[in-house]
Amino acid sequence: MPQGKPLVVPDDGLTTRQRRNQPVFAVHTGDGKGKSTAAFGLALRGWNQGWRIGVFQFVKSAKWRIGEQTVLERLGRLHQETGEGGPVEWHKMGSGWSWSRRKGSTEDHAADAAEGWAEIKRRLTEQTHDLLILDEFTYPIHWGWVDVEDVVTALRGRPGRQHVIITGRRAAPELLEAADLVTEMAKVKHPMDAGRKGQRGIEW
């Protein structure tokens, strides 16, 4: 794309403005580091545009808090106080989603994943968010907890202008086919290869 111009202009009857403003479905996959980090970077851009941000983490423990969550939730509070930016919601599957967690309940990851996807479909129908990040959503699909065809159908048919980013390794071929933007993070080197564990500010 030299100078930011597309290599091909499709014969779809749309104007340049209409084509530019179409919603984007993106997949960040591959074995390299940075899939979620890139998605959260886009969330910061979206917040700055006044977008309604919704983050749904499908694998992270409810106790695991990453730096981006703290920052985006603070930005959500700033929006509530001043009107700057947009609203932010952050939900983790963990031991049950934040909207339905029952203290002391037995974890059933497959059921929790299905519940999360059902809630996301509802929000897509209601156009609750302008940007949805489905973090590590490739895993419940890979494990058979969520039906990939249902995901593809819902995302292809989503109304309005809702951007969606799915992150995680081993993205299903059906997701890659349906997506508008696919980025594969390839690991070349990683500090862990030299025995160095994750550190603050780099991994969380």
24-65 confidence digits (pLDDT tens): 999 999 999 999 999 999 999 999 999 999 999 998 655 667
For residue 10, being part of any structural domain is answered with no
For residue 126, being part of any structural domain is answered with yes
For residue 63, being part of any structural domain is answered with yes
Q: How many Å apart are CA 7 and CA 1, to the nearest integer?
A: 6
Domain limits for position 122: 20-98+107-187
Instruction: State residue 103's pLDDT score.
Output: 52
For residue 94, being part of any structural domain is answered with yes
Q: How many Å apart are CA 119 and CA 121, to the nearest integer?
A: 5
165-186 confidence digits (pLDDT tens): 999 999 999 999 999 999 999 8
Residue 187 pLDDT grade (very low, low, confident, very high; cuts 50, 70, 90): confident
For residue 195, being part of any structural domain is answered with no
Residue 107 pLDDT grade (very low, low, confident, very high; cuts 50, 70, 90): low
Residue 4 pLDDT grade (very low, low, confident, very high; cuts 50, 70, 90): low
Task: Evaluate if residue 10 carries a pLDDT over 80.
Answer: no
For residue 7, being part of any structural domain is answered with no
Assign residue 63 the CATH number of its domain: 3.40.50.300
Number of domains comprising the chain: 1
Average pLDDT, the chain: 87
Task: Evaluate if residue 7 carries a pLDDT over 80.
Answer: no
Instruction: State residue 101's pLDDT score.
Output: 57
For residue 36, being part of any structural domain is answered with yes
**Structure-derived torsion over alpha carbons of residues 196, 197, 202, 204, reported in degrees to the nearest 10:** 180
* Strand pairing report for 163-167 and 181-184: unpaired
Rounded to two decimals, the pTM is 0.86
118-161 confidence digits (pLDDT tens): 999 999 999 999 999 999 999 999 999 999 999 999 999 999 99
**DSSP characters over the chain:** -GGG--S----SS--HHHHHTS--EEEEESSSS-HHHHHHHHHHHHHHTTPPEEEEESSS-TT---HHHHHHHHHHHHHHHH--S--EEEEE-TTS-TTT--TTPPP-HHHHHHHHHHHHHHHHHHT--SEEEEETTHHHHHTTSS-HHHHHHHHHT--SS-EEEEE-SS--HHHHHH-SEEEE---S--GGGGTPPP-TTTT-
For residue 199, being part of any structural domain is answered with no
